[in-house]
Amino acid sequence: MASVAPPLALYIHLPWCVRKCPYCDFNSHPVGGGRTVPPFAAYVERLLGDLDCEQRELAAQRPISSIFIGGGTPSLFPGATIRRLLDGIRARVPLSPDAEITLEANPGTIAAAHCADYRAAGVNRLSIGVQSLAADALRRLGRIHTPDDARTAVQIARAQGFENLNLDLMFGLPEQTPQQAQTDLDAVLALEPEHLSYYQLTLEPDTAFGARPPALPDADTVAEIGWMGADALERAGYGRYEVSAYAQAGRECRHNLNYWQFGDYFGIGAGAHGKLRAADGRTWRTVKPTDPNTYLHSAAHQASGQRTVLNDGDLILEFALNALRLTAGFNPALFTATTGLPISRIAPQLQAAAADGLLEIGEGWIQPTLRGRDFLDDLVARFIAE
Question: With helix as H, strand as E and coil as C, how does the chain read?
Answer: CCCCCCCEEEEEEECEECCCCCCCCCCCEECCCCCCCCCHHHHHHHHHHHHHHHHHHHCCCCCEEEEEEEECCHHHCCHHHHHHHHHHHHHHCCEEEEEEEEEEECCCCCCHHHHHHHHHHCCCEEEEEEECCCHHHHHHCCCCCCHHHHHHHHHHHHHCCCCCEEEEEEECCCCCCHHHHHHHHHHHHCCCCCEEEEEECCCCCCCHHHHCCCCCCCHHHHHHHHHHHHHHHHHCCCEEEECCEEECCCCCCHHHHHHHCCCCEEEEECCCEEEEECCCCCEEEEECCCCHHHHHCCCCCCCCCEEEECCHHHHHHHHHHHHCCECCCECHHHHHHHHCCCHHHHHHHHHHHHHCCCEEEECCEEEECHHHHHCHHHHHHCCCCC
- Asked if the structure places residue 301 within a domain, the reply is no
Other CB atoms within 10 A of residue 355 CB: 9
Residue 347 has what pLDDT? 96
Same domain? 109 vs 225 = yes
- 27: domain CATH number is 3.20.20.70
Answer yes or no: do 73 and 212 share one domain.
yes
**Among 237, 258, 279, which residue terminates a domain?**
258
Host domain of residue 50: 8-258
Residue 221: predicted pLDDT:
97
Residue that finishes a domain, picked among 239, 258, 277? 258
Do the domain assignments include residue 358? yes
Same domain, residue pair 15 and 88: yes
Rounded to an integer, the average pLDDT of 63-77 is 95
Does a structural domain hold residue 298? Answer: no
- Same domain? For 239 and 340 the reply is no
Q: Structural domain tally of the chain? A: 2
Please, which pLDDT band fits residue 2 given cuts at 50, 70 and 90?
very low
User: Is 316 found in the same domain as 227?
Assistant: no
Query: pLDDT band at residue 55, thresholds of 50, 70 and 90?
Result: confident
Tell me if 304 is assigned to some domain.
no
Shared domain for 34 and 120, answered yes or no, is: yes
Quick one: 251 and 331 in the same domain? no
Please say if the pLDDT value at position 58 is more than 90.
Answer: no
Q: What is the pLDDT of residues 174-214, one digit of tens each?
A: 999 999 999 999 999 999 999 999 999 999 998 999 999 99
The pTM of the whole model exceeds 0.75: yes
Whether 105 is covered by a domain: the verdict is yes
At 281, the pLDDT band (50, 70, 90 cuts) reads: confident
Asked whether residue 320 falls in the same domain as residue 212, the answer is no
pLDDT the model gives residue 1:
35
Q: Residue 376 is part of a domain; what is its CATH number?
A: 1.10.10.920
| Domain assignment of residue 315, yes or no | yes
pLDDT on residue 56: 78
Residues 203 and 344 in one domain: no
Please check whether residues 21 and 135 belong to one and the same domain. yes
Render pLDDT for 79-106 as a digit per residue (tens, 0 to 9): 999 999 999 999 999 999 999 999 999 9
Are 170 and 237 contained in the same domain? yes
267 is a domain residue: no
pLDDT at 3: 41
356 within a domain of the structure (yes/no): yes
Beta bridge partners of 275: 265, 285
Residue at a domain's end among 219, 236, 258: 258
Q: Are residues 251 and 316 in the same domain?
A: no
